[in-house]
């Protein structure tokens, strides 16, 4: 772990716990936590450390030993993650999926997990195909009403896994209410905070035991790093995760940690613009004659808008909508956008669009997708930080062009 420094305002203390005084605001922490100037050279930006091994003063007397176990750049990033999520312990992994796998590996074979049903396709795949094969059973439950949790708790239930907002239908789960029920039953609560980032939502403050992110998305924010992170205040859970992080070895490279921490420094600025743009895009889509329905927590039409206002500090940059027509209409739309790039993933500065039923959630059975509302005409937008007027103009031309070619709608001909 990083050495103690009694004089520093940021960094880690002598027990490896992130030092992030509560008096500082989010932007200050994003820029300074885990980013102390280099003690040896005075470099304002901590240097990239590519060494795989480190000199020991004597046998067993070291700060860093081996880069799978710890590395200066990863230690810095983990400190920043813990600070931003209001946690004592931060962790970085080679991907969001590796984060999920490592946390689920803290459970013993024979354990039972309750997961929100509208969950990221990769998480659903891991729970259904991988965790199940090693004796961990999962029940997928609609947790929009958290009281449903009580009906599915078993003697061997150990963990509740939640995304809020969910992917891609942007349903919300009341974290505080869910945590109260789960803790009364002796269960851990894990919250995937990827869609909002720590800037807009603080699950640990709301009662979650551990918070996870695909840092590939908003935390890095530039679509050039694959990574996952986690944070917790639970010392016992942190000890298990730290052991597995080293034992499994699914850790990020020093360069990726360096890149992700650079991304974090503008997280507060980017998230504000993502949310401003997404609100304008959602309001435009809600008024469009080419759109059947729009899903965005910042709209009053969202059935959980009041919960969003209570639980979140902003509504995020993700918008989903159903285009008038079918999968062919959606396909035409996605091929005709000019600023919204047809691609999976989300959270980068650039705007992306995708068709969940045939892309991110194609692994679900058709009946499961239908039950979740992932229809063939549901389009998910990751609204970037470009000029909102340009994004709306792009959506306008693509919607008009795609819907005009529906079989039941004649094409207007100019004379």
**Which two three-digit tokens encode residue 144?**
């929009």
Q: Round to the nearest angstrom and report the end-to-end CA distance of the chain.
A: 74
| Residue owning tokens 């400190």 | 79
387 is annotated as an active-site residue: no
Task: Find the catalytic residue in 13, 24, 68, 234.
Answer: 68
Task: Find the catalytic residue in 70, 192, 209, 256.
Answer: 192
Task: Find the catalytic residue in 12, 74, 118, 120.
Answer: 120
* Contact present, 75 and 3 (Cβ < 8 Å): no
Task: Find the catalytic residue in 217, 242, 324, 332.
Answer: 217
Q: State the Cα–Cα distance between residues 366 and 345, nearest whole angstrom.
A: 21
68 is annotated as an active-site residue: yes
| Per-position b or e across 188-227, b if 16+ CB within 10 A of its CB | bbbbbbbbbbbbbbbbbebbbbbbbbbbbbbbbbbbebbb
* Contact present, 123 and 192 (Cβ < 8 Å): yes
Smallest Cα–Cα separation from 403: which of 319, 336, 344, 320? 336
192 is annotated as an active-site residue: yes
- Size of the chain, expressed as the number of residues it contains: 415
* Contact present, 57 and 65 (Cβ < 8 Å): no
Strand partners, 192: 163, 212
Smallest Cα–Cα separation from 333: which of 395, 282, 279? 395
**Cβ atoms within 10 A of the Cβ of 186, count?**
9
* Contact present, 317 and 347 (Cβ < 8 Å): yes
142 is annotated as an active-site residue: no
Catalytic center residues? 68, 120, 192, 217
């Amino acid at each position: 772990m990083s050495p103690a420094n009694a004089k520093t305002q940021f960094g880690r203390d002598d027990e490896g716990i992130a030092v992030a005084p509560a008096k500082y605001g989010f932007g200050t922490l994003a820029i300074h936590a885990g980013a102390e100037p280099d003690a040896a050279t005075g470099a304002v930006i901590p240097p990239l450390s590519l060494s795989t091994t480190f000199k020991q003063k004597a046998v067993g007397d070291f700060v860093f030993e081996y880069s799978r176990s710890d590395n200066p750049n990863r230690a810095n990033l983990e400190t920043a993650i813990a600070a931003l999520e209001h946690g004592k312990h931060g962790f970085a992994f080679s991907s969001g999926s590796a984060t999920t796998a490592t946390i689920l590996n803290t459970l013993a074979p024979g354990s039972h997990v309750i997961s929100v049903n509208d969950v990221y396709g990769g998480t659903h795949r891991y729970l259904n195909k991988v965790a199940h094969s090693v004796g961990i059973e999962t029940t997928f439950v609609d947790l929009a009403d958290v009281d449903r949790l009580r009906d599915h708790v078993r003697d061997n239930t150990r963990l509740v896994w939640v995304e809020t907002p969910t992917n891609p239908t942007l349903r919300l789960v009341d974290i505080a209410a869910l945590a109260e029920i789960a803790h009364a039953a002796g269960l851990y609560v894990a919250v995937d905070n990827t869609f909002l980032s720590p800037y807009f939502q603080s699950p640990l403050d709301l009662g979650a035991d551990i918070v996870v992110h695909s840092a590939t998305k908003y935390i890095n924010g530039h679509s050039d790093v694959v990574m996952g992170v986690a944070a917790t205040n639970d010392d016992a859970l942190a000890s298990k995760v730290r052991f597995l992080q080293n034992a499994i070895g699914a850790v990020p490279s020093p360069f990726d940690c360096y890149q992700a921490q650079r991304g974090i420094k503008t997280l507060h600025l980017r998230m504000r613009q993502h949310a401003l743009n997404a609100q304008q895009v959602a309001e435009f889509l809600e008024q469009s004659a080419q759109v059947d329905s729009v899903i965005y927590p910042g709209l009053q039409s969202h059935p959980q808008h009041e919960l969003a206002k209570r639980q979140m500090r902003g509504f995020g940059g993700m918008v989903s909508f159903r285009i008038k027509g079918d999968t062919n209409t959606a396909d035409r739309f996605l091929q005709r956008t000019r600023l919204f790039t047809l691609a999976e993933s989300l959270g980068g500065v650039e705007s992306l669009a995708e068709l969940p039923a045939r892309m991110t959630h194609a692994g679900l059975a058709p009946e499961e997708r239908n039950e979740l509302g992932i229809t063939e005409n549901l389009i998910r937008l990751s609204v970037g930080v470009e000029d909102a007027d340009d994004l709306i103009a792009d959506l306008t031309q693509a919607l008009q062009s795609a819907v005009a070619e529906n079989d039941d709608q004649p094409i207007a001909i100019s004379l």
